Each structure stands twice: as structure tokens, then as C-alpha cells.
Amino acid sequence: MNSNFTTQDAARQKKFPLEFFQFCRYNPDTFVLFKITMPINFQEVYAHIREIGLGARQRRQALDERRALARQLIEAFDGQLDLLRAKVDAAKAADANLRCAVPLTEPLASSHPLPGAAIDAVLLAADGSQILPDRHAAVQFGLVNVGAIVMKLNSGAPPQVHTDSRLLFDHELYTETGSVTQDDIEFSRDIAERRKLLELAKDHTGTLIALTDGPVEIWGAKSADEGEYQRTLTEHKSILSQLQSRGAIVAGYVDKPGADLLVRLPFGGVRAPIQFARPLHGKSEPALLLP
């Protein structure tokens, strides 16, 4: 944006308040942009809200029926883990993009009492954020910021706070295939979180609990550079192995009310249409499994 502010600009600003006045990004000497508020059609939205309200009882009834079905299926397949694994394998062969829970050796409806509290537990937690390069900006840069805390149970000590910031500039904004993407930056953030946890774990003993925001797994994405993703994945596995060798418990914290990996299981016939193969698909686990 041109920073020169002429007398003509001042005259225009007198006519239009500041909040309604800004220059065009590409040609400030020719065009003027105005912020125009476009209100929603309240009557149209209100009519839709009324329709939603009228259908609340039917939706509640359908949810109750789906919840009862979910519990019936979990009870029916509680001990049939081999059969359910075979269904998952067949469904995976038909749809390589399938993501669902996979039963191992534990019955589906099993429950366990809480273990005793660890006296010497040390909680390590890391979370990161990022600034993506703006292709419209005069200076191209990115940034990865990671914050971490260390809390020692029963120590009486306040939490330790750590912050690492890395500026990305020049050649760091390019990969073997071109400019870095949002996924590339996010992979850098994810691996920086794991590096920080490993660094902190080396300084502490006792029962170590290492938490990150989101799943433990680093997921690939279509827009990410494949070579960079594989390097990130290799380092990620190495960090997990080193944390394991120190006896650390690694977990990801996911607050996801819409989680549905369990209800995505193909309880029905694999060759049947999806609504029959996965009769619970489309509803979340909290909605179906919680009272």
C-alpha cells in the first residue's frame, strides 16, 4: 500500500469517516474501496429457524433410535473382534481413505477403574502457532512459535513456561517443489512441538507425561511437499522412540465433540450401501454414547 497521504486523500477522508475509507491495495492513486455492510435477510433466516424448531422432536426421536442402535451394535460385537477386524480390512480394501477405530484385543464395551495417582509425575505440554507467508506482502516471511509448560506434581513449584520462536525467511520459504504451503508450515510447527517435549524430557525424571494439542499422529496432506513430509515423519518417529526410551507417556489432547472414529466402524455388510454398512455414520460418538 502506498504510504503517501495527499491533500486530496485528506479531503476524501473528511467526506467519508475513517472506518469507511481505505485505499485499493494495488492502485491507491486510482481506486478507492469502501466498506459496505451487507445485512442478512433476518426474515428469511427467522423462517428457517422456525422450521428447525418444528423438527426438533423428530430429530430427538431419531437420535434416541440411533443411540439405542449404537449400544446394541457395541454389545453385539463386544467379543467378536476378529469378525469386526475382518470387516475393517474388507472396507479398507474397498475404500483406501477409510478412517475408523480398529479393535485390537480389548472388548468394545470394556471398562477399567482408574489407576493410583503417580506421586512423582511431571507433566510436559507443548502447543504451537504459526504465521503463514502473505503473497501480497512486500516482505515474505513466516514464523513458527511453540509454547511449553512443565508442571511437577506435589512439588509446590510453579509451572515453568518456555517459548521458542523461529522466523522463516528467504530460502526457508521454499521446498524442492516450490513455495512452502500452509501444510508445510504446520508440519514445521508440529515437529517443533515434539522437539520441545523431548528437550524438556531430558531434564526431568519420574513419571513423564508429554502432551500435545491434537492427535499424536502427524497426518499428511495433499498440498504438502512429499519429501518434506517424509523427513518430518521420520524425525517424528525418532522423537517418539526417544521419549519411549525415557519411559515418557505420550498423548495428544483432542477436544472434538464431533468425534466419530468408533461409530464409523463397518458393523454392517461391507458390500452394502454406506447407510447399511455403517449404520451409525453421520452422528458423533458423544451424541450416541453419552447418556
Instruction: Indicate the average pLDDT of the chain.
Output: 79
Model pTM score = 0.63
Average of pLDDT values for 60-81? Answer: 85
> Is it the case that residue 279 has pLDDT exceeding 70?
no
pLDDT category of residue 197 using cuts at 50, 70 and 90: very high
Domains and CATH numbers, the chain: 1-36 (no CATH), 64-101+261-289 (no CATH), 121-253 (3.30.420)
Q: Which residue has the higher pLDDT, 117 or 41?
A: 41
List, for residues 225-254, the tens digit of each pLDDT value: 677 778 888 999 999 999 999 999 999 987
Name the least confident of 24-33, 115-124, 237-246. Answer: 24-33
pLDDT in tens, 47-65: 999 999 999 999 888 888 8
Tens-place pLDDT, residues 172-190: 888 777 888 888 888 889 9
What pLDDT is attached to residue 54? 93
Q: In the prediction, which pLDDT does 49 show?
A: 94
Cβ contacts of 281-289, under 8 Å, gap ≥ 24? 283/63, 283/66, 283/70, 284/257, 284/258, 284/259, 284/260, 285/259, 285/260, 285/261, 286/257, 286/259, 287/63, 287/67, 288/63, 288/66, 288/67, 288/70, 288/263, 289/67, 289/70, 289/71, 289/262
